[in-house]
Amino acid sequence: DTEVTQTPKHLVMGMTNKKSLKCEQHMGHRAMYWYKQKAKKPPELMFVYSYEKLSINESVPSRFSPECPNSSLLNLHLHALQPEDSALYLCASSQAWAAVYEAFFGQGTRLTVV
C-alpha cells in the first residue's frame, strides 16, 4: 500500500463551522505533512509532524489546528475560517523527515469557505 488517503475529498463550510480533515497512511512513514495549495500556485508547507510530534508550524493561524493521534493518522481541525482559506489541502508522508525528497502526497481535500 503506497497511498496517502485523505477524507473528505470536498468540503464546503461556513465561517462559523468547525470541521476536520483526515489523512491516513499505512506505509510505516514517521513524518507527515500538511500543505495548502491555492489555484495555479505550488504547495505551501503548513505543518510537519515527525514521530507524532509537531516539529514545524509555518506561522499558520490558530484557526488551523493539527493533531497526530498515532503514526498512521494526521488530522487538521478547522474553526472560524475565512473565505481566503479556500484551497486544496494536501497531506503528505515520508519515511522520515530527512527523507522528504521521497514524500508521497494524497489527492487532497478541496475546501470552500462560504
Partner 1 sequence: QKEVEQDPGPLSVPEGAIVSLNCTYSNSAFQYFMWYRQYSRKGPELLMYTYSSGNKEDGRFTAQVDKSSKYISLFIRDSQPSDSATYLCAMSVSSGANSKLTFGKGITLSVRP
Supply the minimum distance, in Å, between the C-beta of residue 50 and partner 1: 7
- Percentages (nearest 5) of helix, strand, coil residues in the chain: 10, 55, 35
Among 16, 42, 59, 69, binds partner 1 (CB under 8 A): 42
Nearer to partner 1, 7 or 18 (CB): 7
- Selected binder of partner 1 within 40, 69, 70, 83 (CB under 8 A): 40
- 60 sits near partner 1 (criterion: CB under 8 A): no
Taking the complex as a whole, the smallest distance from the CB of residue 2 to partner 1 amounts, in Å, to 10
Contact between 106 and partner 1 (CB under 8 A)? yes
Binding site for partner 1 (CB under 8 A): 4, 6, 40-43, 45, 48, 50, 55-56, 88, 90, 92, 97-108, 110
